[in-house]
């Protein structure tokens, strides 16, 4: 893999993820690999989309960026995540402390792992503001209010002393964003931040993330399985399937000339661009389960254009097929220009 030109090597690269392998050590000899050879960069001040079906490894990659894999009993077996001279793949818990939350913020899935239900908004924001430093209560409150104001919460002085259950889903997610940006991080990782929220609220949250990104010159990593959403808000995207990155490129490039059959199939199953009533094109079968990956290309079984050499050997690596546009498909020539 390292012989190949790697995705996104560019002076703007803030994070370089190379050949990242994530898995669970079940017994001393038994490893369950969940993600292998994740390869992409996060550039300064960009919004990067991470798409793929459930189980493709998106969340695991996110967790490796904030060092919380252990909480899912997973760990990094190989590869590197270079961020400002640090290799995030090799940090211990003590080394993570100045990075997680301070330089890389995290916005969780809204409904599921939202704020702590028994702590007031202010108390939780206070934790995010204080981190491990001593600060006067008065200053913490002031900064908390400032943050609530930044995420456009009306009457911050009231909300500050409220509990999460008193807030709507959209408000709660705003509070989580406020906490994520409390330390003015370089990167905010948002894992399906609008799942379960109404469309109008989803649009507002996305607008807020975009606003914050440009105001503070942050990079946003947005995980979603909604291609329509990614198309609308992201600069570049990474398509994941069965634990690998299969396509990396700018949103316009991937939309006009997708270079992986999986991306093409995903696009065809979109309802926002479908003709009402016309059959939607679905992807054959199910994504291969973790631990049951077939040899060769893991999409081969589901692919319409599958060739003899697809399902043998190693999982194909990303190759720069067009400038700044990578694909792991062995037969991009078959994709022609007829798609998109």
Partner 1 sequence: MGDALIEARDVSVTFGSGSRAVRAVRGVSLHIDQGEAVGIVGESGSGKSTLARVLAGLQRPDSGEVLFEGENIYQRGKAYRGDKRRLVQMVFQDPYGSLNPRIIALSAVSEAVRVHGVGSRADATARSLELLAQMGISERDAKKKPRQLSGGQRQRVSVARALSAQPAVLLADEPTSAIDQSAQAQLLNLFQGLLDGGLSIALVSHDLGVIRYLTQRVYVMKDGEFVESGPTIEVFDNPTQDYTKKLIASIPGRELRKART
**In this structure, are residues 256 and 336 in contact, taking their beta carbons and an 8 Å threshold?**
no
Q: Where are the alpha helices (DSSP H) in 67-198?
A: 93-96, 121-130, 137-150, 156-159, 169-180
Q: Counting contacts by CB under 8 A, is residue 338 touching partner 1?
A: no
Residue selected from 62, 148, 167, 227 as contacting partner 1 according to rule CB under 8 A: 227
34 vs 54: CA distance, rounded Å: 12
Q: Counting contacts by CB under 8 A, is residue 112 touching partner 1?
A: no
Q: Counting contacts by CB under 8 A, is residue 276 touching partner 1?
A: yes
Residue selected from 75, 196, 235, 294 as contacting partner 1 according to rule CB under 8 A: 196
x/- contact string, 52-71, with partner 1 (CB under 8 A)?
A: -xxx----------------
Q: Counting contacts by CB under 8 A, is residue 1 touching partner 1?
A: no
Encoding tokens for residue 70? Answer: 């252990």
Q: Where are the alpha helices (DSSP H) in the chain?
A: 58-66, 93-96, 121-130, 137-150, 156-159, 169-180, 199-216, 227-233, 251-256, 261-268
Encoding tokens for residue 219? Answer: 């990079």
Compute CA 265 distance to the chain's CA centroid, rounded to the nearest angstrom: 20
Q: Counting contacts by CB under 8 A, is residue 229 touching partner 1?
A: yes
Q: Counting contacts by CB under 8 A, is residue 301 touching partner 1?
A: no
Q: How far is the CB of 308 from partner 1 (least distance, A)?
A: 26
By C-beta, is 283 or 303 nearer to partner 1? 283
47 vs 214: CA distance, rounded Å: 10
Work out the number of other CB atoms within 10 angstroms of the CB of residue 254. Answer: 28
Q: How far is the CB of 236 from partner 1 (least distance, A)?
A: 16
Residue selected from 3, 93, 117, 271 as contacting partner 1 according to rule CB under 8 A: 271
Q: Counting contacts by CB under 8 A, is residue 274 touching partner 1?
A: yes
Enumerate residues 6+ apart whose C-beta is below 8 A from 339. 257, 258, 264, 267
Q: Counting contacts by CB under 8 A, is residue 255 touching partner 1?
A: yes
By C-beta, is 272 or 304 nearer to partner 1? 272
x/- contact string, 136-175, with partner 1 (CB under 8 A)?
A: ---------------------------------x------
Q: Restricting to residues 201-220, name those near partner 1 by CB under 8 A.
A: 201-203, 206
Compute CA 165 distance to the chain's CA centroid, rounded to the nearest angstrom: 27
Three-state DSSP class for residue 330: coil
Residue ranges in contact with partner 1 by CB under 8 A? 53-55, 169, 196, 198-203, 206, 225-229, 231-233, 255, 265-266, 269-274, 276-277, 279-283, 286
């Amino acid at each position: 893999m390292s012989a190949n030109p790697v995705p996104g090597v560019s002076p703007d690269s803030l994070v370089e993820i190379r050949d990242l392998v994530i898995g669970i050590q079940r017994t001393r000899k038994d490893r369950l690999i969940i993600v292998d050879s994740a390869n992409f960069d996060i550039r300064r001040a960009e919004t990067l989309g991470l798409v793929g079906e459930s189980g493709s490894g998106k969340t695991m990659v996110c967790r490796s960026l904030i060092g919380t894999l252990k909480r899912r009993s997973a760990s990094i077996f190989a590869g590197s995540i270079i961020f400002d001279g640090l290799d995030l793949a090799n940090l211990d818990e003590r080394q993570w402390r100045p990075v997680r939350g301070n330089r890389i913020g995290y916005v969780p899935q809204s409904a599921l792992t939202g704020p702590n239900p028994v702590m007031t908004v202010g108390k939780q924001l206070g934790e995010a503001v204080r981190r491990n430093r001593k600060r006067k209560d008065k200053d913490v409150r002031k900064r908390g209010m400032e943050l609530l104001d930044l995420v456009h919460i009306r009457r911050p002085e009231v909300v500050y002393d409220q509990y999460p259950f008193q807030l709507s889903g959209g408000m709660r997610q705003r509070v989580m964003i406020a906490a994520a940006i409390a330390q003015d991080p370089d990167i905010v990782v948002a894992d399906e931040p609008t799942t379960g929220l109404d469309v109008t609220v989803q649009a507002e949250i996305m607008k807020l993330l975009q606003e914050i990104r440009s105001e503070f010159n942050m990079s946003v990593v947005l995980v979603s399985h909604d291609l329509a959403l990614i198309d609308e808000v992201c600069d570049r995207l990474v398509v994941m399937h069965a634990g690998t990155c299969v396509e990396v490129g700018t949103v316009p490039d991937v939309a006009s000339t997708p270079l992986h059959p999986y991306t093409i199939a995903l696009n065809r199953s979109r309802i926002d661009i479908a003709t009402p009533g016309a059959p939607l094109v679905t992807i054959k079968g199910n994504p291969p389960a973790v631990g049951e990956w077939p040899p060769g290309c893991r999409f081969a079984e589901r692919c319409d254009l599958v060739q003899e050499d697809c399902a043998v050997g190693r999982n194909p690596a990303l190759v720069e097929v067009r400038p700044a546009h990578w694909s792991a498909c062995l037969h991009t020539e078959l994709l022609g220009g007829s798609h998109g």
